[in-house]
Amino acid sequence: MYLAKIRQGQEIRYVLRQSYFDRRRDCFVYRQIFDLGPRPDDYIEHTGQWSPSFDEKLEEAVARAEPGRMAAVQLEQLLWRFFTTAEQERLNRHSRRQPVKLMPFTAEDEERLRREIHLFDRRRLYGLRYGAVDQTRIGRLPKKLCRPLFGQCRDEREFYFAEQEKVLRPLEYRTYVFAVFDLQRFFDQSFARFLPQALDQDVMADRLIDEICRLNGDEGFWGEVREQGSLHPHLQRYLVMFFDHGYPPRAFIDDFARDFINRHRQFRWPEWRPEDATEVAAIFGRTLEELRSMPTRDLARLFRQKAKELHPDAGGDHERFVQLNEVYERVKKRFG
């Protein structure tokens, strides 16, 4: 269950919704549990005691939706932001939170990862976790970071990301959008990986609009076929992030310090392990020895051929496509 924040003109309404799997559509969708209107606080009784109470009809609706959980505890989590500071402090003092048990990533989790988690979701997780502009190493994203997204419909997932993106500062918005839509791949300049503000912003804007339109009609992303002609509200915030905000001003001393640090950086990516040969052969369909003796031009031609086969837009597997890009970069650096 989650709290949806719906904007209707100048008004904002809050609705409790619940994700569930629709077998007919073969995807996760949502059902509406309770309309809280523009003031969820109206359904909270601030008694002055250590724990607030909730409207009886609201508790009954939540209890019917999730009979195995205590409705009051569920509502405390969902409506936490509407509690007073004193109530939050009292609840924190008396909470008995159990330590989180880290479970291993199982074969079932691997299948859910492949089936449920879209490449755009991974890009956002990667960008938020590491603040990385360059997405070529997205294949190294820890799989456990995707686990909170399991079992969520697209609507719940987008509200989840909207909440996570609140940690970004306005001056970071445009760089974040550049990263998560992987606009870097449309530019040949070497500095595109770390200095997007030096690129042609008009070209960048055109590529962004193309990518948003493509994602807007991506059935694999939404879980169902969408009618074309209107941009989904969940994607509109990325246009606002990009067009309503600019890059932070750069100072000479910052550039000098960054250049000095990079020149003296001791970090090196790990050397190839023996199993890398198997990984390369599985991705490219060629042995490591064949790739070792292949001219750079032929290697690039083979990469483009495999990229067309594995690209998600052509019906390929996006996990394998990400792996292909990462392995190609590693092969180029070692053998190119």
In the chain the domains, ranked by start, together with CATH numbers, are 2-94 (no CATH), 107-263 (no CATH), 276-335 (1.10.287)
- Is residue 270 over pLDDT 60? no
The residues, any chain, with a CB within 8 Å of residue 272's CB and separated by 6 or more, are 330, 334
- Is residue 196 over pLDDT 70? yes
Cβ–Cβ under 8 Å, residues 38 and 63: no
Higher-confidence position of 336 and 74: 74
Q: How far apart are CA 133 and CA 131, in angstroms?
A: 7
Cβ–Cβ under 8 Å, residues 156 and 19: yes
DSSP at 170 = G
Percent of the chain with pLDDT over 70: 85
Computed over every residue of the chain, the mean pLDDT equals 85
If one counts every other C-beta atom within 10 angstroms of the C-beta of residue 204, the result is: 22
| Mean pLDDT of all residues in 2-8 | 91
Q: Which of 29-33, 96-100, 214-218 has the lowest mean pLDDT?
A: 96-100
| Mean pLDDT of all residues in 267-285 | 64
- The reported pLDDT for the residue numbered 248 is 76
Q: Which helix (H) or strand (E) holds 333?
A: helix 318-335
pLDDT digits (tens, 9 = 90+) for 240-265: 999 999 887 766 666 666 666 666 66
| Mean pLDDT of all residues in 57-75 | 91
Q: How confident is the model at residue 336 (pLDDT cuts 50, 70, 90)?
A: very low
Question: What pTM was estimated for this model as a whole?
Answer: 0.71
| Mean pLDDT of all residues in 295-319 | 81
- Is residue 25 over pLDDT 70? yes
Task: Tell which residue, 59, 2, 66, 10, has the closest CA to residue 30.
Answer: 2
- The reported pLDDT for the residue numbered 228 is 61
Alpha carbon 233 to its chain centroid, in Å, reads 17
φ and ψ of 203, to 5 deg: -65, -40
Q: Which residues pair with 31 in a beta bridge?
A: 18
